[in-house]
Structure formats: C-alpha cells, structure tokens
Structure 1
C-alpha cells in the first residue's frame, strides 16, 4: 500500500505539471505574452512558493536541463561544420567583445550596490551568461533562428556555453584553498580531462555514429532508432558533464557531428517530442525556483540589481553590436533579447558557494535576480515590439515610379507577378513593373529585372507609372484588400486599360467580377487542378481521361461561380449534380475516377474557399 501511495503521489505531480502548462501556456500565448512567461507563471503557481505542490524545484530543474541539452543538439544538427566555421568571427570575435564589455560594466554596476569586488564579479559574470533556453525559444517563436541576425545571437550563445569552463576554473582559483599545490595540480588535470573528452567525442562522432545508425536502420526498428538518438544526446551530455564541461555544449557538438549524416532528419524527428516537453519542464522549474521569501526580505537589492543589470547589459550589447557593424534595429533587438541572465549562472553561483567565494544568502539573492530577469525578458521583448519604431529601409539604388509609360503596367512582383511577367517579356512587350517592397526590388535587380518603387493603391503613383496610357494593367499584389483598392481606382480613372487581377479565393473572385474586371484568376486554382491531373496520371489513369477530368472540374467550378453570382443557395441545391444546365454553361457528363468507384459530385461539394 505504501508503494502504491508513493506511486500515486508521483503521478499527481506529473498531472499537476502537465495541467499547469496546458492551462497557462495557451492563455499567455492568446494574450500575446509568449509561452516562456506562461511556463514561468505556471511553475511559480504550483511551486513551493505558490500552491506548494512541489517542495524541491532544484531536483526538477536538474532533470529539466535536459530540455536545453536537446535544444542545443537540434541546433547542432542544423549547423554543418562548414557553416559553423563560417561563423567563427561571430563566435570568437563578436562573442569575446560582447562578453568582455558586459563583464566589466556589470561588475562595476554590482559594486555600486555595495557588494565586495569578488562577489560583484561572480554576480556580474553569472549574469553575462545569457539564457540559451529563453533566447532560443523566443527566436524559434519568431522564426529568426536561421536568419543572419538570429545566427549572430546563436553564435554568441555558443561562445557563452564555452565560457562556463574557464569561469568555473576561475571560481576555484578565487576560493580560500586556491594557493595549495594540490589544488593547482587538480585544475590542470581537469583541463586535460576536458580536452580529452572533447577530442574523444569528435572521434566517436566522426568514425562510429554513422555506421551505428546504418546498422540500426537496416534492422527497421523505429523504436531502436529513437533509443539510439536519445543515447547519442544523453551520452554526449554525460561525457561533458563528467569532464567538468557544459552538457549543452556536448550535445551541440554531437549534433554538429551528425549534421551531414543521411539520418539527420530522422534523428531530429525522434528527438523533437522529448525536447519540447523537457524544455517546457525547464521553464516550469525555473518558475518554481523563484523564492518569494528571499525577494520579500531583500526586495530593494534584488529589484535594483535586476533593473540595473538588465539595462546595463542591454546597453553594452547594443554598443558592441553597433561597433561591429549591425544596424540600429538589429543592435537594439539583440540587446533586448539577450538582456537577462541564464541557466548556467545557477551552476556558477553554486560552485562559488561551494568554494566559499559567496555565502548562502548571496547565492539566493543572485539566483532570484537571474530568475526574475528571465521572467521579465518576454515582457520587455513584447514592449520593445510594441513601442519600437519600424525599421527604416534604405532606398539607395531604388528608382521611384515617375514619368513612366508602357503597354502593360504590372503591379506587384512577388511569386505570382514574377511568373506572370515571363510570358509578356518573352514577346518583348513593353512592361512597366512597380512594387513597394524594397528588398524585393533589390533582389530582382540581381537577376536583371528593372522594378520601380511605387504603391499601386495611390492614384498619383498610378499616373506616374503610366497607367493613363497603358493598354492593360495587371494587378498581382499579395493582399486582397489592396487589390480591391487598385481595382476601384483603375476602373474609375483608367477605363481604356484592360484590367487583369490576381484573386485569392472564390469570394474575392466574385467581388472582382462584380467590379467589372476583364479577367481574374485564383492564385492556386489552376496549379491545384494540374496537380490533381498529374496525381491521376501517376496512379495509372489515361492521359486523355485525366485531362478531361481536369477540364470538367474547371467547368463545374465555373458553374458554381455563376450560381453564386446569381444569388443561388447551394445548400438548397444539395441534390443538383454538376451536370445541371445553366444558361451559358456547357453541360458536362458525370465523370468517373479511373480504377476507383464511380462518383457524381454535387455543386455544394466544391470547397467554398477554392
């Protein structure tokens, strides 16, 4: 009975963790506050300083750190060695400059709060170590990890992970027993062990991992492949931890070594569910670790340190980024995103307390400072997004639409406009193209296209672009409301031009037809019909049969369009087949799907958004 009670108690804790996350995270995301803050709040609510459902958050935190480990492994899978080598300047150059500047300035800031130099240095260097988990989650939610600004942030985070090793050695030097011969010898031994572990991991990854996965893949046991992927991640992390290095760095190296493997995507798919759950558990445990009692007793010092250190760190990151060539917007964004302390600070503070450099109270205060900074970061990022001025796009080298003329005016040079323009340009038609996306204009120029900057919803821009003399105006913009505005202007001001418009769905097509355009086509309809035709042919259908079916689908779609134009109620006509006769619409015979059972489709069976 005692065993059953204990098992039941543990199950209640698991249910509590999952329930808190399931309730809080969607709620916070719904209000635009992000999942990270939702996890923190859930952890605080159920932790020892909230409802008290958990009494030992540190135990959960140690387990949940595996989420960070797996996150770094997945990032490593995306970083081929050649790509990692191309980031060496960011990793060692930008990383060194940022960390050194922040460490000096933050130490001075901590000293202003009356802390001794050693204590101020420990607190500052711990705060310099940015939270990999928080930053990577924020970048992932924004989709910025693979972009150049995101890659720079990832590079700095990697260098900070490497920095934990010399910092721990430095803490040992600062301890009361730092001068002993035994202590010095053990430190050199630790360095040798760490270097040997890195070399060993590289050799294993280089010569053993791919053969191992080939053997397992040949066994065709999916669960064994999953177990092997977990073994690689956890084994690399354990090796680094036993060697006194960062678990996350070990997992990252393992990911890099597997980045060129043919099994990379399979491994990533196997790891992803565990990574997501454990990373959420990490954020939950960080929220539990916030000791509200410590904050209440020392709130002037803790709140002051949080605000001062975050502001100083953000300023240092901004200055270094600007000096290293980043734009104002990128530098400011980097400063805001990386302004917090991180999970490796907990390791550093614990080592400093064990070595006698700081006492238990200072450790608790510094831990509270880091946790609060991690919790505040999503709010600061949200505020920055709300109040920051939009980035100013350089217009250098871009010509605005003025005094232009041509047989065809094409508005919008996105994916649709690029394809549509090729037929006209192939016949040497005099085409004038305008777009309001500066980056698109620069990109198109590299391929030999001349695009003018102009907003097609403005009448003066249309006049300047030659709409008054154009024989045809093609509206290819990627926004239905914007297209409707252009159609309204062109219909009233330039009736001499044929008006051709890109439509988005059937409802938009109806609006365009009522507006009197000469031609409209839904952006995905024809490609989807051709896709279905190709699918039938790949399944063995005769080419002529597949082509006939595609043509009948076009006719049935035209029938539905006329029904809706006439105000017909498709729900009332649920039993009317596509073969029903309407004025001006051909009457096709019901078709059969080759090698499948015959089927007559009703008019209401065409999806309304097609």
Structure 2
C-alpha cells in the first residue's frame, strides 16, 4: 500500500531539495559576508548534474525560474510611473544605447581575436553585452540602491538591453544559412504581431485592469486578489512572448501601467513572495547549468574569454559613464556590477544554435563563459567596494547616507486609514508640502477620495508586507487613523516591532484604547472625540453666561485632570492592556477606586478618579 501511494503521489523530493539548498546556502554565505546570489549559485552547482547529481535537467528549472526575473521586472515597473519613465528617456536611449554599441564592438573584436568568424564572434559578444538583470537587480535591492539616482541609471541601461534582445534575435535569424531567401511578407507579419501584442497590452492596462481590481477588492477575497496579481504578470509576459518579444518586458510594461493604480501596494505585496522564491530558484538553476566537463575540456579558452570579456566590457562601461559625466567612483562601481553576461545570453545562444549559426559545442562554451562571469560578479563588486572604502572612506560614508533616505523620503508620512479622521489629519501635512502616502481597504472610500483629488492606495494596514510595500521603513511617521480600536492596536504593535526607528501616532477610540496604545509603545495617541468635545463644551459654557476667560480656564483644568487620570490609570493598571478588547468592539473594563494606603495612600489619585464622575461621563471616555 505504501509503495502504491508513493507511486501515485506527488514527488516532493526535488522540491524539498531545492528549498533546503537555498535555506542552507544563503544564510551560510551571508554569515561570511558574501552575497546571497553567490549562495544560490554555489548551492545549484553542488546539487546539480555536475555536483551531487540530484538534478539532471538544469535548463528546465531555469525556464520555470525565469518567471522570477519576470516578476522582478513587474515590481520594478510598479515603481516606474510613466512620468518617471519619461524622465529617464535620455538615460535609456542615450546612456543605454551608447553602452550597448561600444561594448558590442569591443566584444565582437575580442571574439574574432579568439579565432571565431565575424558572425559567431558577434553572437558571442552580444550575449555577453546583455547584462544579467536578475543579478544586478538583486544586488541593488540588497543594498537598497534601486531608488537612488545611480541605481536608476543602471535600471535605464538594463531596460535598453532587455529591448535589444528583440532585434538581436532577428539578426540571428538573418545570419542563418539560407536566411536571405526568407519571405519578406512573413517577416512583416511577425513585426505586425509584435506591435499588435504591445498595443493590446497597453489598452488592457489602460481601461480594464483598474475596474477589475476594484470588483475583486469589493468581493473581499484576498486569495482572488493574489491570483489576479499573478494573472496580470503572467498574462502580460505571455502576450509579449506570443508577439515574439521579451516576457520580462511585458511584465515591466504591465507594472508601469499599474504604477498609478490605487492597488499598487497590494499588488507588490502579493507578488513579492513568489518573486523572491522564483528568483532564488533561477540562481540555483544557473548554478546547476554550469557544465564542469565543458569547462575542464576547454579551460584555457574559457578562462581567457571570461577575463578578457569582463575586462573589455568593464572598460567600455567605465568609458561611457565618464563620457557622460558620471563620477569616477560611480563609473567604477557600474563597471564592476555590469561586467558580466546575463540570462538573455542563454536565449540568444539557443536561437543561434537552432538557426545553425553556432553548433552545440560552441553553445556550451559560450554558455559556460557567461555563467562563470555571473558567478564572479558578487566577488568583483565586493572587492571594488572594499577597495573604494579603504581609498575614500569619506566618499563611501556620503554614499551610505544617501542610501538611508532614497528619493528624499526623510520627513514623509504614511497614513493608514482615510475616513473622516484621517482626511482631516492629512490636510495640515499636505498644506505644509509633506509627501503623504495613504492606504485604506475601503474601495468606495478610495473612489470617493479620488473625486476630490486624493490619491489613496488600496491596502490592508494590518499586513506587514503591505506596510513594507508602502515604504513604511523610510517614512518619518506612521499615522494610524483607522476607526476600530483592535485594528489600530494591531497596526501599532506591528509597526513598533518592525520599524522601531519610525514614529507611530494613533487615533484612540476611547480611554481604554488609549491605555492599550500607550502600553504598545505608541509615540502619540489622541482620543478621537476629546478635543472636539472640549471645544464644544467650552462654547456651551460661554453661551450659558460663563465669561470666555473663565470658560477657557475650566477647559484647561478639565484637560489637566484628564491627563492626570490617564497617567494614574496607566501606572495602576486599571485597564488590563490587551485584555481590554473583547471581540471586534471595545468593551470598557469597570473602573474601581483604588484603596487608601496609610496617610498618603492614593488620596490624590482617588480624588482625580472620582472627578471622572464630576466631569462629564465615565473614565472610559
């Protein structure tokens, strides 16, 4: 029976092996100060066909794991609003194009120097020109530099290189034996299909996606929202693939089209876990794909090619950076980071093999050269950074200061909840010119706020991944304005635990909620009706004949006694902290008068607490 179950059950051994390899290798490499990418690559080499032999088909894993790169570009697209992307047009078409042209010329000549024909040398060099988007993005993401100006320049170059794969594949097809006799009408048809897929994707993103997510959000099914996020990413990638374009480019365009959507933070949080796992799986697959037998058999050629190509490409990148007036330090760092080949080289070399431009053995040599360059990249960047720190410590410190607060986020505010309370809180912040991000999970309220010019993003503030996606770690303050006391307490506890350096302010439902928020470590809390009720009471006194100065003095006395009661109740623990909440609606714990203890006892406390009955209502107000 066990054997029968095993024969018909799901084989979990490969899945468990892959997960275990990543879980063991990455923390181990991090412990020794090495990059996580290097950990994945080493783990893949160990468990792959040329290590322990636990896997025999590395390419199938790479094909599946390429979805990690696709999702990474979707997340980058979410950060690239169309206006921001338009602002980078000069970097994309100027810096990116100039770097691709110069490096392709240098590497093609290097390939010819190795004895290859011009067409084969061109294919070899162009595969190496296409930098690994996955590795560069992962390193920049680990450093927190994706949003910095120098990080954005690198992203611009990578976008141009991703676009370059399309004409390169066309060039490979043209170089194929007998390609000159190909049908022109067929080529035009392929171009038309590609343009049609691009236009269809833009129209769907412009007119369909936002209404779709509004309907799903109103349904309140979180798993359906996650499924819809995956559908958008994979559907856009499939559309581009069917049109003969890059899957990664399709995902990036989908992200850009949704970057202005109110559901941006929710989408990013839903995609992030899948992106991280699949990207790690991609690096594992690359490590497995390194054919040790080919490397050993062609060690002099591959060793020379790796060193020569990385050096020449680095020189080309440095020259372009300096020509366009980047600093020497930035030019060196960019050269070290982008000197390797990338994952699109595998696609280009496979197409060249299919069209007969290169043979299988040459493909294996080229692929091994690119993989080794990818493996060496973390070492090269660490060595360059270490040398830069020793040579120019002051400059390194300045750079780190810029990373701590990308895009000028110091002083920004994240508001969670945009009901009647949150709307009023936001007004002085916006009037002062602060950058205010707002999230709420009420779709109707978000639509109503949009009619008055407010940009509110859909998101559940009780989810840590949503807070991260909203940039909570980079703001000056998190202001919790939700109306439910238990939800507010949960958000405050989450924020104080995860972002201890960020100030957290919260709206309190009543006195009991205020005491619970204070116990949770909130930096400031205010009962939602306190100040408005005091102003109302002061006005009533004046209209009943009490002189205005006397009325204001009475109100100040009420405030003072209220603050004393709150402080004493906090110390005495009259409210049971978290036990205060019963169900979804707060239920005040009955107030008990503390006993006297000796001459001093708590006479003053008793007088203050008894004052609650004298000054308008219960102590739970």
Structure 1 length normalisation: TM-score? Answer: 0.68
Match of 2:111 in 1: 110
Structure 1: how far apart are the matches of 2:529 and 2:282?
48
Match of 1:547 in 2: 563
Query: Which ranges of structure 2 fall in alignment gaps of 5 or more residues?
Result: 397-409, 412-500, 507-516, 532-557, 573-595
Distance apart, 1:547 and its partner CA: 2.5
Structure 2: how far apart are the matches of 1:144 and 1:370?
25
Structure 2: how far apart are the matches of 1:125 and 1:47?
27
2:527 is aligned with 1:537: yes
Match of 1:12 in 2: 13
The 5-angstrom pairing of residues 259-338 of structure 1 reads 259-338=259-338
Structure 1: how far apart are the matches of 2:385 and 2:30?
15
Contact kept, 8 Å, 2:503 with 2:523, in 1: the verdict is no
Residues 1-21 of structure 1: CA deviation (Å, up to 9, x unaligned): 777435667301100000000
Structure 2 length normalisation: TM-score? Answer: 0.66
Distance apart, 1:540 and its partner CA: 7.0
Match of 2:460 in 1: none
2:29 is aligned with 1:28: yes
The 5-angstrom pairing of residues 197-216 of structure 1 reads 197-216=197-216
Contact kept, 8 Å, 1:229 with 1:270, in 2: the verdict is yes
Greater helix content: 2
Match of 1:424 in 2: none
The 5-angstrom pairing of residues 75-154 of structure 1 reads 75-154=76-155
The 5-angstrom pairing of residues 182-193 of structure 1 reads 182=183, 184-193=184-193
Closer/same/farther in 2, CA of residues 547 and 136 from structure 1, 3 Å limit: same
Structure 1: how far apart are the matches of 2:79 and 2:317?
26
The 3-state SS of whatever aligns with 1:535 is strand
Contact kept, 8 Å, 2:22 with 2:40, in 1: the verdict is yes
Contact kept, 8 Å, 1:529 with 1:550, in 2: the verdict is no
Structure 1: how far apart are the matches of 2:393 and 2:237?
40
Match of 2:169 in 1: 168
Residues 461-514 of structure 1: CA deviation (Å, up to 9, x unaligned): xxxxxxxxxxxxxxxxxxxxxxxxxxxxxxxxxxxxxxxxxxxxxxxxxxxxxx
Closer/same/farther in 2, CA of residues 30 and 188 from structure 1, 3 Å limit: same
Query: Which ranges of structure 1 fall in alignment gaps of 5 or more residues?
Result: 395-414, 417-521, 557-578, 599-610
Distance apart, 1:181 and its partner CA: 3.6
Residues 420-469 of structure 1: CA deviation (Å, up to 9, x unaligned): xxxxxxxxxxxxxxxxxxxxxxxxxxxxxxxxxxxxxxxxxxxxxxxxxx
Distance apart, 1:51 and its partner CA: 0.7
Match of 1:228 in 2: 228
The 5-angstrom pairing of residues 348-359 of structure 1 reads 348-359=348-359
Contact kept, 8 Å, 1:533 with 1:546, in 2: the verdict is no
Distance apart, 1:537 and its partner CA: 2.7
Closer/same/farther in 2, CA of residues 275 and 7 from structure 1, 3 Å limit: farther
Structure 2: how far apart are the matches of 1:332 and 1:79?
26
Match of 1:73 in 2: 74
Closer/same/farther in 2, CA of residues 19 and 393 from structure 1, 3 Å limit: closer
Structure 2: how far apart are the matches of 1:549 and 1:65?
61
Contact kept, 8 Å, 2:565 with 2:605, in 1: the verdict is no
Contact kept, 8 Å, 1:552 with 1:588, in 2: the verdict is no
Distance apart, 1:187 and its partner CA: 2.3
Structure 1: how far apart are the matches of 2:112 and 2:106?
10
Structure 2: how far apart are the matches of 1:350 and 1:138?
27
Distance apart, 1:332 and its partner CA: 0.7
Structure 2: how far apart are the matches of 1:203 and 1:524?
42
Matched residue pairs, number? Answer: 446
Distance apart, 1:288 and its partner CA: 0.6
Structure 1: how far apart are the matches of 2:340 and 2:108?
15
Closer/same/farther in 2, CA of residues 77 and 554 from structure 1, 3 Å limit: same
Superposition CA RMSD, Å: 3.4
Structure 1: how far apart are the matches of 2:189 and 2:597?
87
Residues 365-386 of structure 1: CA deviation (Å, up to 9, x unaligned): 1110111111110111111111
Structure 1: how far apart are the matches of 2:4 and 2:196?
44
Contact kept, 8 Å, 1:43 with 1:283, in 2: the verdict is yes
Closer/same/farther in 2, CA of residues 192 and 50 from structure 1, 3 Å limit: same
Structure 2: how far apart are the matches of 1:549 and 1:259?
48
Distance apart, 1:588 and its partner CA: 8.8
Contact kept, 8 Å, 1:536 with 1:546, in 2: the verdict is no
Contact kept, 8 Å, 2:505 with 2:523, in 1: the verdict is no
Distance apart, 1:185 and its partner CA: 3.1
Residues 557-595 of structure 1: CA deviation (Å, up to 9, x unaligned): xxxxxxxxxxxxxxxxxxxxxx999xxxx9996999x99
Q: Which moved more, 1:527-536 or 1:156-165?
A: 527-536
Structure 2: how far apart are the matches of 1:29 and 1:587?
59
Contact kept, 8 Å, 2:518 with 2:525, in 1: the verdict is no
The 5-angstrom pairing of residues 173-572 of structure 1 reads 173-182=174-183, 184-388=184-388, 389-390=391-392, 532=522, 534-535=524-525, 537-538=527-528, 544=560, 547-548=563-564
Contact kept, 8 Å, 1:537 with 1:546, in 2: the verdict is no
Structure 2: how far apart are the matches of 1:311 and 1:385?
17
Contact kept, 8 Å, 2:68 with 2:276, in 1: the verdict is yes
Structure 1: how far apart are the matches of 2:235 and 2:571?
61
